[in-house]
Chains A and B, each alone.
Chain A
């Protein structure tokens, strides 16, 4: 009787210890695709797929290690990933639908928006059971180097704070485990924007933008606030010239702003103040 109670107690603690670190990642199944088709989880986490499409799908491991039955609209499937590794899967009914679960011993998260130079960067993460400290490393272009150490709490979570100096990749190390890297963009530039009427009877305005310090080749976008676009809409895109400047031709009287973006031409690095262009 006592032995039975001890076994039950041990089972209870094993369960609660396991669930203290575990989390669930959700993946939507839509017509023709898993969204997102790649998820990073902590070893021990569960991934839960939900079918939001009218079609029936499966979630089937390439290596046969797991597989769902047919999942209809509104149905779902969950799978735990107890060990680190990369697990490719697909839909047996629509083999072009593919996805991947990457399980790590340690995960790191950073700010998704650019931060200003001198600010504190909050880096959070989770580590597998049994890890007490993690090393945080940064790579600004010359290789990874230690920048902080963080203690792991009873739930597996850890927090670190580093000073933003320049854009860098960050990662966390827990024993032999390495987290996927996270990119943190640090704003070390500023926008100078000047708008004026075009001369000689020509319609519209000129919007001149200058970025300091010089950043020739960087992309700037003129956005116009349009009612029919329900917000800001990219109107023109320019590369900064050798003097780190660009000129836009804009409609007079429009509400406009200039955005300095990453090389993809979309992700904002600095968003200039909104302004009403002269009429």
Chain B
């Protein structure tokens, strides 16, 4: 009796562990609630280019625009788009969507564009989806996914598959996409392998032109662009993306990473809608610059600070 009881208990415990293990290893559904909302975005909050000494006024740097904003379920409460460590906490870019290979991603989108009253959509790179979740306007072919009118909603259903590992852009692909992208309606997906180690710090660097300035995450010039922070020993990941019409060269001072073929790099070129991520284990404390190395872009705002502490 005792022996049979022990066997039953062991079987129950084993069953519990199998369940628990399979639950942790199984695919998850990641759900996001996002809306297109108007905002007054300031490209240069400190009102200066500290490098050159040039000053600006809010009349030159504040632009009414429409952005993607993260919400709690059913769009009840507006939330910060991203943690301050990822983008400095602003509304450009939109929420960074995370998933692992095998996960489903459900994005509930609502158009609350009371500024331009344009239709909007969300179009995602790097993941698998049916045409009804493409979000790309094709006259006579596309449906409500590509033409979400003010006050309307759409749910995009995406799948992170094997070749989704990496960082990818998403953006408006409706009829209004040109104005939207120029105004900051873009974001990123960060997809990890099923068992890939997540970094200790993840930094989102979105090169784009905005309001006549060359911006990183919608801001121009040191002090305004995100100040990224890490500690020695941490695994850091830089997610680098761009949309628009320009090519950029991502460069971080005092650091190198391993590029294709095992070749060390400290600068990498990126073109419109391309994206990449680079990693290293931090070993060099100090206050560093990161920037686009196209000189004209750097001088017009694409430059920021990276601060590493011991």
Q: What is A's interface to B at a CB cutoff of 8 Å? A: 28, 30-33, 35-36, 52-55, 94, 96, 112, 226, 228-234, 264-268
When the two chains form the complex, which single residue of B50, B62, B212 contacts A267, counting CB atoms closer than 8 Å? B62
Query: Dominant SS at the A interface?
Result: loop
Q: B178: which A residues are within 8 A, CB to CB? A: 96
Residues of A within 8 A of B296 (CB): 52-54
Chain B residues within CB distance 8 Å of chain A: 40, 42, 45-48, 50, 57-59, 61-62, 64, 178, 182, 209, 212, 214, 222-224, 227, 244-246, 287, 294, 296, 300, 305, 307
Q: Are B59 and A267 in contact (CB under 8 A)?
A: yes
* Count of A-B residue pairs with CB < 8 Å: 70
Rounded to whole angstroms, the CA-CA distance of A266 and B59 in the bound complex is 9
CB contact between B40 and one of A35, A55, A229, A266 (< 8 Å): that residue: A266
> Which residues of chain A come closer than 8 Å to B61, judged between CB atoms?
266
Whether A233 pairs with B58 at a CB distance below 8 angstroms is no
Q: Which residues of B contact A53 (CB under 8 A)?
A: 296
- Asked if A230 and B212 sit within 8 Å, CB to CB, the answer is no
Q: Are A112 and B46 in touch, CB under 8 angstroms?
A: no
Cβ–Cβ < 8 Å partners of B212 in chain A = 28, 30, 33, 35-36
- Residues on A with C-beta less than 8 A from B58 are 264, 266-268
Tell me how far the C-beta of A254 lies from the nearest C-beta in chain B, rounded to whole angstroms: 16
Q: A94-B245, A267-B59 are in contact. Are A30 and B300 (CB under 8 A)?
A: yes
Task: Pick from A96, A234, A268 the residue with the most CB of B within 10 Å.
Answer: A96
Closest CB of chain A to B228's CB: distance in Å? 11
Q: Are A266 and B227 in contact (CB under 8 A)?
A: no
B-chain residues with CB within 8 Å of residue A228 when the two chains form the complex: 223, 227, 287, 305, 307
Top 4 A-B residue pairs of the complex, sorted by shortest distance between their CB atoms: A35-B212, A230-B50, A230-B223, A264-B40
Residues of the A chain whose Cβ atoms lie less than 8 Å from the Cβ of B50: 230-231
Given contacts A32-B182, A266-B58, 4 further A-B contacts (CB under 8 A): A55-B245, A229-B227, A267-B62, A268-B58
